[in-house]
Amino acid sequence: MGTLKEQLQADMKMHMKSGNRVALTTVRNVLGEITTREKSGKTPVELDDVQIVSLLQKEAAKRRDTAGIYTEAGETERAASETAEAEIIEAYLPAPLTRADVEAIVDEAIADLRAGGEEPTMRQMGQVMKPVTAKVAGRFDGKTVSEIVRSRLA
């Protein structure tokens, strides 16, 4: 399988053929956001999967918030439409991790430092966070990850 962006582009073509308008529009909008982000700087960049996952999370959250606003306003059809879009986007997100998964990843990172002959302290928090963040990327709350690392190093 290619990149997340290639997956989105392939799915857009599939939705065109199948006539799934909601999915087509949603995927097309997300790809538009990615393109906008890639071209917005001084020099064009290519977003990697981690950056795209982060963008997808924001897009899904935006739609969930909007759905909430529509629900409060009694606009159930519009709320359902926003929720449907959020669900389409969330299908592209990696499965969330459990706290136990994250604790195991943190313990592994600390064990790797120990294997390198270091006894990690709070000073090495950055060295522990770097590999952990790379593995967890968008699949667990970042603040909680740092709390877990802190509790392990304390």
- Domains in the chain, number: 2
* Domain finish residue from 69, 90, 111: 90
Say if residue 121 is in the same domain as residue 149.
Answer: yes
CATH number of residue 71's parent domain:
1.10.1510.10
Is 82 exposed, middle or buried (CB count within 10 Å of its CB: 0-12, 13-18, 19+)? Answer: buried
Say if residue 11 is in the same domain as residue 78.
Answer: yes
Say if residue 106 is in the same domain as residue 37.
Answer: no
pLDDT value for 118: 81
Q: Please name which of 5, 13, 48 lies closest in space to residue 30, comparing C-alpha atoms.
A: 5
CATH number of residue 130's parent domain:
1.10.10
Look at residue 105 and tell me whether its pLDDT is greater than 90.
Answer: yes
Task: Give per-residue pLDDT as tens, 72-93.
Answer: 999 999 999 999 999 999 999 8
Look at residue 133 and tell me whether its pLDDT is greater than 80.
Answer: yes
* Host domain of residue 112: 99-153
- Torsion sign (Cα): 79, 82, 85, 86: negative
Cα 20 vs. chain centroid, distance in angstroms? 24
Say if residue 84 is in the same domain as residue 104.
Answer: no
- The two three-digit tokens of residue 55, written as one number: 């963008």
- The two three-digit tokens of residue 34, written as one number: 């990615």
Across 108-115, average pLDDT: 91
Task: Give per-residue pLDDT as tens, 30-83.
Answer: 999 999 999 998 999 999 888 898 899 899 999 999 999 999 999 999 999 999
